[in-house]
């Protein structure tokens, strides 16, 4: 009986060592919910009046929620596996909408803002040889913006958001939960400052879009809509941040670290 207990104890220790040993290279794939904050978040006016909304004069990007997907690679630079350099990508899509009841019909605005991010940085794991490994990190991020605003109902048109880029930073924290020697689960949160560097406001080239209305049909000119996030005499500065909640799967590659 005693020999069986010793054998089971030895097997448990072996399995535990295999389970909790960290590897040199990790890859995490994730997705989740993203909350826009600061001027990335905004509300449409309660009433529109007789004219169409002027989005050039909006102080925010008029989004209310979004989702994220991404992947990040992590490479250990020390023998314990605590310090890692990181690189990855992150896609966030934000949206917001509003219905306005007009004389003969309803006018619906649908707004979409996309941010594709390429990032590189550093991460510190507190207990890389344990099953639960909390971590914190900081990334330098290049953010690429796109999107559009669509109106449907008694009027129909599309305003394209100008493709622009900004430099920012992302603070990251979470926990990596090892399920076995090659795979784990990860949950975490990120806070991103997306437009720290590169803000600008400029007059965009005008483009002509077809406008149809129950009362009249014709054409209307709309400027390609830029971020317009730099402060000037007629435009306030915009701070475009988000809070990202995510969960995913971690893959561990290579031999366990000693």
Query: Given this model, what pLDDT does residue 19 score?
Result: 47
How high is the mean pLDDT of the chain?
85
Q: How confident is the model at residue 212 (pLDDT cuts 50, 70, 90)?
A: very low
**Can you tell me the mean pLDDT for 203-223?**
45
217, β-bridge pairs:
212
- pLDDT cut 70: percent of the chain above it: 81
Phi, psi of 16 (to 5 degrees): -65, -40
**Cα–Cα distance between 35 and 240 in angstroms, integer?**
11
| 218, pLDDT greater than 60 | no
Query: Could you give the domains of the chain?
Result: 2-256 (2.40.160.20)
Confidence of residue 209 (pLDDT cuts 50, 70, 90): very low
Q: What is the DSSP string of 7-24?
A: HHHHHHHHHHHHHH--EE
Whether 59 has a pLDDT exceeding 70, the answer reads: yes
CB-CB neighbours of 154 under 10 Å: 18
Task: Work out the end-to-end distance of the chain between its first and last CA atoms, rounded to an integer number of angstroms.
Answer: 33
Q: Tell me the C-alpha distance between 243 and 225, whole Å.
A: 24
The SS3 assignment for 2 reads helix
Q: Work out the pLDDT band at 63, boundaries 50, 70, 90.
A: very high
The whole-number pLDDT of residue 216 equals 41
Residue 21's pLDDT band (cuts 50, 70, 90): low
* Six token digits for residue 23: 């590897």
pLDDT level of residue 214 (50, 70, 90 thresholds) = very low
Q: What integer pLDDT is reported at residue 246 of this predicted model?
A: 98
């Amino acid at each position: 009986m005693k020999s069986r207990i010793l054998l089971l104890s030895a097997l448990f220790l072996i399995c535990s060592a295999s389970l909790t040993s960290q590897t040199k290279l990790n890859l995490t794939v994730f997705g989740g919910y993203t909350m826009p904050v600061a001027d990335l978040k905004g509300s449409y006016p309660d009433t529109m009046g007789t004219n169409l909304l002027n989005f050039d004069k909006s102080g925010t990007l008029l989004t209310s929620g979004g989702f994220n997907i991404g992947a990040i690679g992590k490479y250990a630079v020390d023998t314990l596996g605590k310090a890692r350099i990181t690189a990855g990508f992150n896609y966030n899509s934000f949206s917001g909408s509003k219905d306005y009841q007009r004389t003969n019909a309803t006018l619906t605005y649908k707004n979409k803002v996309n941010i594709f991010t390429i990032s590189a940085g550093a991460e510190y794991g507190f207990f890389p040889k344990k099953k639960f490994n909390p971590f914190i990190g900081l990334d330098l991020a290049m953010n690429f913006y796109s999107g559009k605003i669509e109106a449907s109902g008694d009027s129909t048109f599309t305003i394209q958001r100008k493709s622009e880029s900004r430099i920012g930073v992302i603070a990251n924290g979470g926990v990596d939960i090892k399920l076995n020697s090659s795979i784990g689960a990860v949950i975490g949160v990120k806070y991103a400052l997306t437009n720290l560097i590169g803000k600008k406001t400029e007059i965009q080239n005008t483009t002509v879009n077809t406008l149809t209305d129950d009362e009249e049909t014709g054409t209307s000119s709309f400027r390609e809509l830029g971020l317009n996030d730099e402060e000037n005499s007629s435009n306030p500065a915009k701070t475009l941040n988000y809070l990202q909640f995510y969960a995913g799967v971690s893959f561990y590659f290579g031999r366990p670290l000693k």
